[in-house]
Amino acid sequence: MFAADTRMVSQANSALPEGFRVEDYTIIRQLSMGGFSIVYLAHDKNGQDVAIKEYLPNSLALRASGEIRPIVNSDNLGAFRYGLKCFFEEGKALSRLSHPNVVRVSNFFRANETVYMVMDYERGRTLQEFIRKHQGHISERFLRGIFARLLNGLRVVHSNKLLHLDLKPSNIYLRTDNTPVLIDFGAARQTLQVDTPMLKPMYTPGFASPEHYGDRKNLGPWSDIYSIGASLYACLAGLTPQAANERQKKDVLQKASLRWKDLFSAQFLETIDSCLELNHHERPQSAYSLQKMLADDAEMIEMQSNPHFKGWYQKVLQNFRK
């Protein structure tokens, strides 16, 4: 379910062994390993499948084969503890979210001198895997449906003053019925409320917004919108778009409205282009506004008839700018 990312790491950590018990959970096998964490398939005390994410940043901590607790040298201890605090707060924040398009966090706890986050284990495949299999045969209607529903989940994330900050096809999961789920919030932080210096930013070139590379005070819902646009572009191209920091020096990314002219509707391609604007003020400013651009007429009528969402995104933007 959780694809390992491609970030550079400075050392390799050993996963917990199969059969190892941590709290009320039994490790079955490793699912993935990234620069920030290791994700396992495990069984809870009732024998149900769960996914467990373990905080273990390769750049700060080392766990040798056969060991359980990570070793952190004194130079890295401050950063490790700050990251651990962020990870714990992330689990706490995500556990309050309940939405079918956001992975559900059912528990989080401290053990073995680190932190664990317990999530629902979903069956299906990532959007990245889907792209590889169906490249060149993905319909506009399918993509509109997937991303319009995914944005339902992103709206809930943003309304809780959280950002995902690592949206990409490998972090968008499709259940067996093709329901999309946002996964791997490894980069998610309550960034606009934190005064403590951030850890080194973690992001994926090609999907990260220009704000990821510059003043992180400019990060906001529009930053995740850039990543949505890059993900849509990747679905059509089958390749990762040019990285935003490279585009700022010399932009050679061909606009979707030119590259796929007459293959998809002009409005759909222009929507992708608007998400990929380098100036964040020129992008859709919220998940809701982008959702309106992607939804078909029937979905639009349903969304706009719901009074709960009137003025929703203006309120979100006000919260983020406080």
Residues 6+ apart with CB under 8 A from 229: 271, 272, 273, 274, 275, 276, 283
Are the CB atoms for 218 and 115 separated by under 8 Å? no
Q: Are residues 256 and 306 in the same domain?
A: yes
**What pLDDT does residue 95 have?**
87
Mean pLDDT of 161-186: 89
CB atoms within 10 A of CB 283: 23
* 4 domain-assigned: no
Residue 201: pLDDT above 50?
A: yes
Spatial distance between the Cα atoms of 322 and 320, rounded to a whole number of angstroms? 6
Q: Are residues 98 and 213 in the same domain?
A: no
The pLDDT-based confidence of 224 (bands split at 50, 70, 90) is: very high
> How far from 204 is each of 35, 139, 187, 208, CA to CA, in Å?
11, 26, 10, 6
Rounded percentage of the chain residues whose pLDDT exceeds 70? 83
Spatial distance between the Cα atoms of 278 and 296, rounded to a whole number of angstroms? 27
The pLDDT-based confidence of 94 (bands split at 50, 70, 90) is: confident
Look at residues 120, 144, 166 and tell me which one is the last residue of a structural domain. 120
- CA 270 vs. chain centroid, Å, equals 24
Mean pLDDT of 155-177: 91
Q: Are residues 52 and 71 in the same domain?
A: yes
Q: Are residues 160 and 293 in the same domain?
A: yes
**What pLDDT does residue 8 have?**
37
Q: Are residues 281 and 309 in the same domain?
A: yes
Q: Are residues 231 and 307 in the same domain?
A: yes
Per-range mean pLDDT, top range of 40-54, 129-143, 159-173: 40-54
**What pLDDT does residue 110 have?**
94
pTM as predicted: 0.81
**What pLDDT does residue 85 have?**
86
**What pLDDT does residue 190 have?**
41
The 3-state secondary structure of the chain reads: CCCCCCCCCCCCCCCCCCCCEECCEEEEEEEEECCCEEEEEEECCCCCEEEEEEECCCCCCECCCCCCCCECCCCCHHHHHHHHHHHHHHHHHHHCCCCCCECCEEEEEEECCEEEEEEECCCEEEHHHHHHHHCCCCCHHHHHHHHHHHHHHHHHHHHCCCECCCCCHHHEEEECCCCEEECCCCCCECHHHCCCCCCCCCCCCCCCCHHHHCCHHHCCHHHHHHHHHHHHHHHHHCCCCCCHHHHHHCCCCCCHHHHCECCECHHHHHHHHHHCCCCHHHCCCCHHHHHHHHCCHHHHHHHHCCHHHCCHHHHHHHHHHC
Mean pLDDT is lowest, of 52-61, 271-280, 305-314, for 305-314
Are the CB atoms for 152 and 72 separated by under 8 Å? no
**What pLDDT does residue 156 have?**
93
Q: Are residues 77 and 197 in the same domain?
A: no
* 277 domain-assigned: yes
**What pLDDT does residue 296 have?**
59
Mean pLDDT of 65-88: 89
pLDDT tens-digit series, residues 297-321: 445 434 444 444 444 444 444 544 4
Are the CB atoms for 64 and 92 separated by under 8 Å? no
* 272 domain-assigned: yes
Rounded percentage of the chain residues whose pLDDT exceeds 90? 60
* Full residue range of the structural domain in which residue 185 is found: 125-321
Residue with the bigger pLDDT between 25 and 92: it is 25
Cα(first)–Cα(last) distance of the chain, in Å? 36
Residue 40: pLDDT above 80?
A: yes
Residue with the bigger pLDDT between 196 and 43: it is 43
Strand order in the sheet with 180-182: 124-126, 172-175, 180-182
**What pLDDT does residue 192 have?**
34
Phi then psi for residue 292, to 5 deg, are -65, -35
**What pLDDT does residue 214 have?**
82
**What pLDDT does residue 88 have?**
85
Q: Are residues 181 and 206 in the same domain?
A: yes
The pLDDT-based confidence of 6 (bands split at 50, 70, 90) is: very low
* 11 domain-assigned: no
Q: What is the CATH number of the domain that holds 232?
A: 1.10.510.10
b/e code 51-89 from CB counts within 10 Å (16+ = b): bbbbbbbbbbbbbeeeeeebebeeebeebbebbbebbbb
**What pLDDT does residue 91 have?**
83
Mean pLDDT of 112-129: 93
When the pLDDT of each residue in the chain is averaged and rounded to a whole number, the result is 84
Structural domains of the chain, count? 2
**What pLDDT does residue 217 have?**
81
Mean pLDDT is lowest, of 47-56, 106-115, 193-202, 203-212, for 193-202
pLDDT tens-digit series, residues 182-200: 987 755 444 334 444 444 5
* 159 domain-assigned: yes
* 10 domain-assigned: no
Q: Are residues 187 and 262 in the same domain?
A: yes
Mean pLDDT of 174-179: 93
Strand order in the sheet with 105-111: 21-22, 25-33, 37-43, 49-55, 114-120, 105-111
